[in-house]
């Protein structure tokens, strides 16, 4: 007796639906039961892409090249024979994988004053959404991860209380694809009213003066006073 034709199963041979531009991909369409000869047809949406005739029970392999964004979307396949008519598979949807670009860290101004809330923004121009951004000062994160659903910059605020707040800032961008974490350029604020170097120089001079005073006091205690007593 002829086998009853089953609904075909459409699967990506490469095992993933994440694809990049100019990538070659293969789709396997296979009906587990059904008497050959079998005619397999691949569709993108409602448009026919390719047809293969099989005289055995092996899967039909359809080879595609993802040349543009129009090549991703919904695919399904149809199997048919002269005995049981036709059956359709469930749909598959390719997702175009756009490489995440290096994020750019910016601020409206690099010169800040003490007590000021400075603004930092971070944006990757390219990459699949959503993109999650994290801000760092040195190796220490200074914000919770910010998930952006649009191609808009993530923003955080930095309170400048002292010269130690002027260190090196960076941001990190990552999305749902594996191995796509990217770090931004470094950014440093400058204190507008006075330089931290001048503050350090004042502290250094103060320490030298304090050491001189202490040394002079010790000299009086151990050398000048005893010599005066000896002279008496």
Reported as a single tens digit per residue, the pLDDT across 117-148 is: 999 999 999 999 999 999 999 999 999 999 99
Range of the domain at 23: 9-96
The pair phi, psi for residue 67, each rounded to 5°, is -90, -25
Domain contains 45: yes
The verdict on 109 and 145 lying in the same domain is yes
* Domain containing residue 23: CATH number: 2.60.40.10
Reported as a single tens digit per residue, the pLDDT across 71-103 is: 998 999 999 988 878 999 999 999 888 889 999
The verdict on 88 and 155 lying in the same domain is no
Taking Cα atoms as reference points, which of 51, 66, 57, 52 lies closest to residue 16?
Answer: 66
Question: What is the model's pTM?
Answer: 0.63
């Amino acid at each position: 007796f002829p086998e009853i034709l089953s609904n075909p199963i459409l699967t990506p041979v490469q095992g993933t639906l994440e694809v990049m531009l100019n990538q070659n991909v293969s789709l396997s369409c296979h009906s587990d039961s059904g008497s050959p000869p079998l005619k397999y047809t691949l569709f993108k949406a409602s448009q026919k892409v390719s047809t293969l005739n099989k005289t055995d029970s092996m899967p039909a392999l359809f080879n595609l090249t993802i040349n543009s964004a129009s090549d991703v979307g919904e695919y399904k396949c149809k199997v048919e024979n002269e005995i049981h008519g036709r059956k359709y598979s469930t749909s598959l949807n390719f997702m175009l994988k756009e490489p995440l670009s290096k994020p750019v860290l910016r601020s409206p101004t690099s010169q800040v004053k003490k007590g000021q809330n400075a603004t930092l923004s971070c944006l990757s121009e390219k990459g699949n959404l959503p993109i999650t951004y994290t801000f760092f000062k040195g190796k220490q994160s200074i914000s919770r991860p910010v998930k952006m659903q649009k191609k808009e910059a993530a923003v955080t605020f930095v309170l400048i209380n002292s010269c130690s707040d002027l260190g090196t800032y960076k941001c990190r961008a990552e999305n749902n694809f594996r191995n796509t974490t990217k770090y931004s350029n470094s950014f440093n604020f400058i204190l507008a009213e006075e330089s931290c170097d001048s503050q350090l120089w004042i502290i250094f001079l103060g320490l030298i003066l304090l050491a001189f005073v202490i040394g002079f006091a010790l000299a009086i205690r151990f050398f000048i006073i005893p010599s005066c007593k000896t002279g008496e």
